[in-house]
Chain A
């Protein structure tokens, strides 16, 4: 019996020594969560094949012809950007008669594989442009929408974008984002300043000229005010400025040295930010009407970059309390905090999708920053950018179908648009370094 016991003890000791090594090796395999690449977040919706022939021109006027061509080009670009449509190739427009007896030649359009048809006419009345647009279903021959717009010639873009928004609403139930704006930071003047432009980077206006360092913009929901951190008075704190002409520059009341990463609440009444006032970066929420200040975090680590949920009840923020920066979620009083990301070594700059289901954020993997999306419903993580150096600062479009972000893949940081599944990346800036974009409603 004693020999058996001796052997048993040796056996047990061997197990105790080797088991942890074996378990550790396998645990690494099980615990290592490879973020999936480019999942289909648009849920596999097929694109709608659309015909958009040149518009009818009602008056013989070369300027009208030019305007008509311009409007059509903007409309085509917008509908392509929406990610919903597949515009039929340009050469097919020459294959068929577009209309028969004043009505669309639906059989012809079906023959070039257009499921939907957009027609339009341009006219001039009292110096104003008049555009009439219609959307048809080629199979049923039904008109889905008809709109007429009047405007000054310099409102051509506005007309095109407004009609594009209506077309998108018709097919998705949600208005398009084509006359929304983006606010971002650019150092093209050799100093970091605030800029605003159309969502596609056109129509750019410089908002600040402080010749210092401007960072971390956040737009109010009514689009009128931009909050940001600036060094122009020496010590950096939070300021606000009007989004139109850059007037109304003033500090946020009671903002102090070291207040950074402001985020306006969805109802526009509160502002969350990170402050070092207690000697350590913590998340605060200020009621901008009453001035009341709530402190949300009490941890020794760095807490920064808050982002509101669409219903204003939760806040995601970045904290290094676990050692490296990761995303955490808390309620608006900071009572219950949960960690949200485990899969990546370094996470920051979260933005909550308009439908509340997903967050997009910057994550570091193997030395570079990339854009990731976490689905809050099933906890899946998707990597949207890959093998293109650093891709950071993501922000959702108002309809949650697109993401704007900043990438240094061309050397300097430029802004890019892409679909929510990572496809169709499109560069929209090309001068200086452009970072920290925020997409307004």
Chain B
């Protein structure tokens, strides 16, 4: 044998690692596209940093008067429930969102007859169609978390408004961050 076994293993590992590096590179990294906000909350659109959103320094419920009512669901807004926020194009719960959902769950457990409606919302940047489905997904993610932690599913209903009901109608990174949300409303006590 020309190569010793150990050195052969070393070379094979290098080859495999190099191969992984090659295969793992996504095409998209070369295009100029919007990137999801990273952990520090800075979102980059194209090549310019647009705005640095702060994390939840505004009233979590948003101004009620900016949302006209649509239909017959009675909404009795309670201060006990927090709005949960999402990353761009995502429906998973990030750590701060999980904490908010857990606090909402506590409120549900403490008032064990309350029924709630979870509204899923998106920012304006996707298509209206996809955003309607994405909003539903965001609401469903919160609902699933509740059910997995023992809340009865009959107490939770969900709805998506897609991008149709923003709390902030500006076209800025800070507006978009506020709009990507799930709101929790008490519908009966």
Contact = CB atoms under 8 A, between A and B. Distances in A.
B127 interface: yes
Contacts, number: 130
A260 B132 CA distance: 8
A81 interface: no
Interface residues of A, number: 55
Interface string B124-155: 00111110111011001000100000000000
Contact of B130 (A23, A276, A279, A302): A302
B25 A24 contact: yes
Interface string A1-28: 0000100010011001101110110011
A32 B30 contact: yes
Interface in B8-63: 11, 14-15, 18-19, 21-22, 25, 27-28, 30-34, 45-46
A432 B18 CA distance: 55
Given A16-B15, A234-B73, A345 B28 contact: yes
Contacts of B128: 215-216, 435-436
Question: Size range of the interface on B?
Answer: 35 or more
Nearest to A190: B68
B146 to A, nearest CB: 13
Given A213-B70, A258-B136, A367-B46, A392 B127 contact: yes
A216 B162 CA distance: 13
Contacts of A311: none
A378 to B, nearest CB: 22
B136 to A, nearest CB: 5
Given A232-B71, A234-B73, A20 B127 contact: no
Query: For B31, B70, B89, B159, which residue has the most chain A Cβ atoms within 10 angstroms?
Result: B70
Contacts of B11: 9, 12-13, 16
Nearest to A342: B27
B21 A24 contact: yes
A260 B129 contact: yes
B129 A231 contact: no
A176 B106 CA distance: 64
A8 to B, nearest CB: 9
17 contacts: A9-B3, A16-B15, A27-B25, A212-B70, A216-B128, A235-B73, A258-B159, A279-B144, A305-B129, A320-B130, A324-B89, A348-B127, A366-B33, A366-B46, A367-B32, A392-B127, A435-B128
Which 8 residue pairs spanning A and B have beta carbons closest together?
A234-B71, A20-B22, A20-B18, A281-B133, A348-B127, A302-B133, A304-B133, A305-B129
